[in-house]
Amino acid sequence: MDEEILTHLREHPSDFLSGEEISRRLKVSRTAVWKRMKRLRALGYEIEASTRSGYRLVRSPDLLTPSEIKPMLKTNWMGKKIHYFPTLDSTNSKAYQLALNGAEEGELVIAESQEEGRGRLGRSWFSPPFLNLYLSIILRPKIPPHQAPLITLMAAVATAEAILKFSGLAPLIKWPNDILLRDRKIAGLLNEIQSEMDRIHFVILGIGINLNMDAKMFSTEIRNVATSLKRETGEMVSRKDFIQTLLQELEDWYTIFLKEGRVPAVLEAWRKWAQIKGKPVKVTSFGETLVGVAVDIDSDGALILETMSGEKRRVVAGDVEYRR
């Protein structure tokens, strides 16, 4: 019902809507309306109340509820259905469950905070409330499973483009899908897949982006290697505005990716953002450490590396460190 009241209040941005009118529209008592207004105020909505004229919405908080996100969303299908939660263990886990139960392509799971936010390689993702973005999107691409890593590259490109469009700052992608700003990590992607040998059932595209965390909010272990958009620009970021840009980029890039013969376009964009060629790297992959120079990524998104002894190695999963 909160959503309903907000919809009615938004219809009259500069006018008051009488309590009587609201209670009539929602078929509830005036006292119930008053209680709901109180709850909305507690959530950060600034609602002016006048005994004679009724209620007027003055300002909305930067929440990620469907009623805050949807009115501005310009995508055709991405994020049109939103599953919103004040808190979750992990948006990826929730999206996975929803996908198992038949959720459709483009459905979005979003949480204000995560209690067990997950990162790659069994790491955790720090997910404090109301500051950042933690979201997962359900995709059902008709591609062979070996191409699934390309979805990660595509999403990294979309995220990098969104950061640039939104802030004017150009990030760097670190293979496979860390997004860095001024050498510190600002965003990470965790993609999970359910498939048969020759068919993908669904992919869960999980994205975490640090938007409004201050340096001191990061634990001392990650303070020097992690950052947020606010830390880099000095300005608070509107999360609901940022997510519009992000969802639009994701829809556009995913559409490019699915078009026949357009995989090279995604790889090209990824290469542009990663500038990986010739970088001295140390790669940890399945317990093995490889030191060498990055050569490129191949058409499946695997990293090609030339080791110190001149041997070419193909790495499908792992962690990269840039050597100086």
For residue 310, what are the contacts with CB-CB under 8 A and spacing of at least 6? none
Among 60, 65, 91, 167, binds ligand BTN (CB under 6 A): 91
Least Å distance between CB 17 and ligand BTN? 37
Q: Is 245 in the site for ligand BTN (CB under 6 A)?
A: no
Q: Is 83 in the site for ligand BTN (CB under 6 A)?
A: no
Residues 162-181 that bind ligand BTN (CB under 6 A): 178
Q: How many residues bind ligand BTN (CB under 6 A)?
A: 20
Q: Is 92 in the site for ligand BTN (CB under 6 A)?
A: yes
| Selection from 249, 221, 231 nearest residue 78 by Cα | 249
Among 5, 36, 98, 136, binds ligand BTN (CB under 6 A): 136
Least Å distance between CB 261 and ligand BTN? 30
CA separation, residue 266 to residues 57, 69, 163, 308 (Å): 43, 27, 17, 30
Among 60, 65, 90, 152, binds ligand BTN (CB under 6 A): 90
| Selection from 6, 89, 94, 75 nearest residue 47 by Cα | 6
Q: Is 120 in the site for ligand BTN (CB under 6 A)?
A: yes
Q: Is 206 in the site for ligand BTN (CB under 6 A)?
A: yes
Say if CB 238 and CB 126 are below 8 A apart: no
Give 3-state DSSP helix, strand, coil % of the chain, rounded to 5.
35, 30, 35
Q: Which two tokens stand for residue 176?
A: 């496979």
Least Å distance between CB 122 and ligand BTN? 9
Helix axes 239-258, 148-167, angle to 10 degrees: 140
* Residues forming the site for ligand BTN (CB under 6 A): 90-92, 114, 117-120, 123, 125, 134-136, 178, 188-190, 206-208
